[in-house]
Structure 1
Amino acid sequence: MDTYIYMVRHGESPKEGDERTRGLTAKGYEDALLIGELLRNEEIDVVLSSPYKRSILSVQPIAKQIGQEVIVIDNLKERMFTGENNRMSDKELLPLLKKSFEDPYFSLSGAESNTDCQKRAVKVLQEILNVYKGRRVVVGTHGAIMTLMMGFYSPDYSLDFLLQTTKPDIYRMQFNVQQLVEVKKLWKE
């Protein structure tokens, strides 16, 4: 029996504030309800999330539909681009992302490299595949860490992929034990 992981990139969030506590904009809240509607017929068994508020809020409607709480997993947090919790502007982040995908060991002082983040995240994903084998699992996540997890299984998931994702976005990953079988984009703008 295959396992399905639904990677749900969080909805739109405010442009300023602390990485951990930034919530969603009005559009982000509307999209969270749409995520719940889109996943309603997917027979979801469990909902996991990054500890960041915007991710939790993005998957909360589906957790409520199945009568469960969102299970927060700290190591699903977004890649740490700096040693601080403040949001980087897109103008600052883009060159850092480009350099990080060119050199996966690159990081700013006190931050995490793509390699470090991928190791952390894939370890969690592999544990999820073991614990929830044969089930359907929603994972509330972020763009970079989602791309790095998916990129572990296929080179198709690189910086170009990340730059084409939206907020929110949903990808259903089908696994046979630990082997990725198929990825399907479910979110449509």
Structure 2
Amino acid sequence: MKKIYLIRHCEAEGQLSEAQLTDRGFKQAVELADFFSNSKIDRIISSPYERAFQSIQPLAERLHIEIENDSRLTERVLSTNNLSDWLEKLKITFNDFDLKFEGGESSQEALNRIVEVVEKVFTSETKNTIIVTHGNLMSLLLRYYNKNFGFEDWRNLSNPDVFLLINETNKVTIERLWK
């Protein structure tokens, strides 16, 4: 049995790759470390975005585990244009996985990135891995394993959020742990 704890980063000041956690976000990162205090963790993989790294840093320091950065875990770019109706456009991409806006990435392309990371972890020697990523990418992965996970579920994610993926005999189950 292999476990992946899928984490959405804590509250941040913005969407840019260098956006820092807010004061509240730094407190949430400590809460995350406390939340995992009794969990066996073998490996931590994070998006290289500052907010993701900062979200897991207190736990990594506590456990003396080096954080591995993986660019495949970065947030999905919907478009390089400033879309005034971005929320509506994002909603459409939950149904049309091939839809792509200028300079952006389709849901399928983004999904392929994170599935590649997850499948590699499931076939690795480690039993208990944490993956830290971003809301849209996390949602796409959760939908991959649960076809009922959709746009409204994405809207209901929190910062942070934690889901447990368990792979037992090549069947993956999902449980939301963060309330």
CA RMSD in angstroms comes to: 1.8
Q: Is the 8 A contact 1:129 1:177 kept in 2?
A: no
Q: Is the 8 A contact 1:5 1:174 kept in 2?
A: yes
Cα shift readout 1:54-87 (whole Å, capped 9, x = no counterpart):
0111111111121022110111111111237xxx
1:159 aligns to what? 151
Q: Does residue 138 of structure 2 align to residue 139 of structure 1?
A: no
TM-score when scaled to structure 1? 0.88
Residue of 6, 19, 27 corresponding to 1:30: 27
Cα shift readout 1:2-36 (whole Å, capped 9, x = no counterpart):
11100110011113xx6211110000000000000
User: Segments of 4+ in structure 1 off by > 3 A?
Assistant: none
Q: Match for 2:96: what amino acid?
A: D
5+ residue gaps, structure 1: none
Alignment identity in percent?
A: 26
Indicate how the Cα distance of structure 1 residues 92 and 51 shifts in structure 2: closer, same or farther if over 3 A, else same.
Answer: farther
Indicate how the Cα distance of structure 1 residues 177 and 64 shifts in structure 2: closer, same or farther if over 3 A, else same.
Answer: farther
How many residue pairs align between the two structures? 179
- Measure how far apart 1:92 and its partner are: 4.2
Secondary structure in 2 aligned to 1:122? Answer: helix
Residue of 50, 54, 63 corresponding to 1:53: 50
Cα shift readout 1:130-162 (whole Å, capped 9, x = no counterpart):
1245x1111111111111112111113221211
Residue of 91, 104, 116 corresponding to 2:97: 104
1:11 aligns to what? 10
5+ residue gaps, structure 2: none
TM-score when scaled to structure 2? 0.93
Matches within 5 A, 1:87-102: 92-102=85-95
In 1, Cα distance between the equivalents of 2:38 and 2:4? Answer: 15
Secondary structure in 2 aligned to 1:108? Answer: coil
1:187 aligns to what? 178
